[in-house]
Amino acid sequence: MFNSICTFPLPSDLLAQAIHPNSPLLALGLASGHVQIVRLPALPPDSSPESRAEASSTNGHGRVETTWRTRRHKAGCRSLAFTLDGSRLFSAGADGIVKVATTETGEVTGKIAIPSDRDLDGISDSPNLLHVLSPQTLLLATDNSAVHIYDLRTDSTIQGAKPQQTHHPHDDYISSLTALSPSETSTSSFSRQWFSTGDSTVAVTDVRKGIVFQGENLGEELLSGTAIGNRFIAGGEKGAVRMWEGGIKGLMGGINKKTAIQRGESLDVMCQMWEDSPGEDVIAVGLGDGSVKIVQLGAKRINVLDSVKHDEVEGVVTLGLEPGGRMISGGGSTVKIWEKETADDLDEEADVADSDRDDGRNGTESADSRSDSTEEEERRPKRKKRKRNKGKTKGGTNHIMAFKGMD
């Protein structure tokens, strides 16, 4: 279903990524405290291999380039978030500082220190997640289970700003935040509520009403989550996906479907992909073993449609779908960009399979000939695997790389 078209090496382990809402820009936060933005090639409307090759030769969009890179934090950059219009980028570091910078140049326009948590006797805290809920609201989740709400209308630069509200929807650090769709009665097109996972519970919080729902202990640590329409999804440390249907009322009912994706492997991150058909949503799930599972959420069953490997050793820590439809996974010191297989890709694989079957039926070659052929095949990668590895970084630079079909 997906082919890796590019592998992007990083000088330090990746901790966070953010995908620009409108442009082919990817922000990366590293364990060294660096933040950088890379520009991906803009795909033409016709995204066939032929049109991509033509775009490469005519407009120079065949390479990924770093637009800017800086040591933004004194310790690791743990979270990143673009504003909804993409003009600014928020970053949160393990140094206890949140900064906002212009997307185009990376120039810092404001910063705040993470407040000590009064509800926890003034214990110092570290930022864990950032989420821009609306043009007016920034959410900041911390290791000590706090969610600080900042009003960007007071000062869009957040210089020295203090949170308007603070909530504790969980007892431990918050692992995911997902904005819920605005209600039908909403006078704006922006959400006021969000779904979160943390420790072994799920919760829903409202900007105005505070905590709307806090779930019971589910008996395992929840590491990832998302919300799609009236569905809430959470991934656990033991390899199972849980799904609640029926919106907040269904969540309050406590009945969830639980399906093992890969037993014993943590489901560390997930993101929404697309809708196959009404009631058939598809998500991507990044696992601790370095694999990414493409999972279909059906009305009756939860099915794994495909599995790809980001890394043989490092787990997947970031995952997202960019506006051009390419999936981006990150973990360890690499970022991979994946492209959904086209009809031509599937036809090529079918031709390879047919050729293999024809070779198996051909009994005219000698035993020595078959032995020589087998030895040659063992010395070189199989055709399909060679195709998946195509498009890795060429040359000696870490800041420019070539895409498949865009040389």
For 365-396, what is each residue's pLDDT tens digit? Answer: 444 544 454 444 444 444 333 333 333 333 33
Does this model's pTM top 0.85? My answer is: no
Phi, psi of 228 (to 5 degrees): -135, 110
How far is 224 from 237, CA to CA, in rounded Å?
Answer: 9
The tens digit of pLDDT for each residue in 295-343 reads: 999 878 899 999 999 999 999 999 999 988 899 999 999 999 999 886 5
Rg (CA), the chain: 23
Burial (Cβ within 10 Å: 0-12, 13-18, ≥19) of residue 214: middle
Would you state the structure tokens that stand for residue 125, as one six-digit string? 């805290």
**In 3D, which of 226, 199, 202, 227 has the Cα closest to residue 212?**
202
Band (pLDDT 50/70/90 cuts) for residue 407 is very low
